[in-house]
Amino acid sequence: DTLWDLAIAEVEKRENPDDDDDVKPEEVWERSILFMGNKNGGKTTIILRCLEREESPKPTLALEYTFGRRARRHNSPKDVAHFWELGGGTSLMELIRIPITVHNIRSFAVVLVLDLSKPNELWSTMESLLQVTRNHVNKILTKLEKTNPEVAAEIKQRMWNNLQRDHPDSALVDPFPIPLVIIGSKCDIFHEFDSEMRKIISKTLRFVSHYYGASLVFTSKSEALLLKARALINHLAFGYDKSKSVSVDPSKPLFIPAGLDSMSQIGPPPASDSDLGKMRANTPLELWKKVFEKTFPPKSFSDLQDTKDPAQDSQYAEYEVDVMRAQKNQELEQYKRNASKSWKEMDFDSD
């Protein structure tokens, strides 16, 4: 080889060092993340910040998709992260099965955004969305156990990777089947709450996150807090290094990466011994739910449903379409009135 050949080879070697995880430099990673949570909880704002897009967030209609690209090093192909966002709070949960499939389950993660300013909706929203997601993922894993048992076993083992070996809480937790981040949004409003209310919400979310093997972060429109949330999401989306910093002070925004909390640090549910003795629960999660909902009674499921008709949303207004829609609505109402009469009394147009 000539001197130039050797120099070129050396430059290529420096620009494309072997990765510890044996991924070839030219290989492109594709990962997917589903954002879900309270309606108007700030999901779109978080996504735009993660993708460094200077756009004004718009209301999410049903299920929306976007993507981001990042290069791990200079002159290397860009990895792709697929971002899905479920709108409507808990009203469109059946759409969760669309982005999570048997083909991408190995590289899929969930971000649950909970509005801290609405504690009476918090547990119901969290429980409903996580239960539907978990049921769907479990169906996929059951299918994989028959078609590709090695992949199914890998996913199930990965659920426990965030807990250290011989962790004292191993028998008390039930890790979510795919990576999960819980974001408490609008913590600027949350910090105006009474200190006892903040303590109950913070301890409860710490327990839930640890129970599910999830990361927990509180955020708001503050740039510093958004950067912390972005760090957790970039770890899921592009494989960036996982943060090891921890903040558990209830007077400050929480930041606890998965696996760095414990039941002993969280402490017991915030209730008196007499109240705890009266509560019947089969699991630790059920006990914490009863304690939380004693302070923050949940809204009824119908109250949490998004009943707004997208056709009436001004951002989708189209004059010609709206005029025709109004005409058809009038015809429909006329039909309903006619249908309520007896057959002999119904009016029919002569033409």
Per-residue model confidence (pLDDT) at position 348: 47
Per-residue model confidence (pLDDT) at position 314: 66
**CB count, 10 Å around CB of 156?**
14
Q: How far apart are CA 46 and CA 220, in angstroms?
A: 9
What amino acid occupies position 85?
E
SS3 assignment, position 254: coil
Structure tokens at 36: 């879900």
SS3 assignment, position 178: coil
Residue 223's contacts (CB-CB under 8 Å, 6 or more residues apart) are none
Helical residues (DSSP H) of 1-97, grouped into ranges: 3-15, 43-50
What share of the chain has pLDDT > 90, as a percent? 42
Taken in order of first residue, the domains within the chain and their CATH numbers are: 30-295 (3.40.50.300)
Q: What is the residue-averaged pLDDT of the chain?
A: 83
Confidence category of residue 28, pLDDT binned at 50, 70, 90: low
The residue that leads in pLDDT, 302 or 113, is: 113
Q: How far apart are CA 181 and CA 232, in angstroms?
A: 8
Asked if residue 336 has pLDDT above 60, the reply is: no
The residue that leads in pLDDT, 152 or 23, is: 152
Lowest mean per-residue pLDDT among 117-126, 184-193, 231-240, 321-330: 321-330
Asked if residue 204 has pLDDT above 70, the reply is: yes
Beta strands (DSSP E) in the chain are 30-37, 63-71, 78-86, 108-115, 180-185, 215-218, 255-256
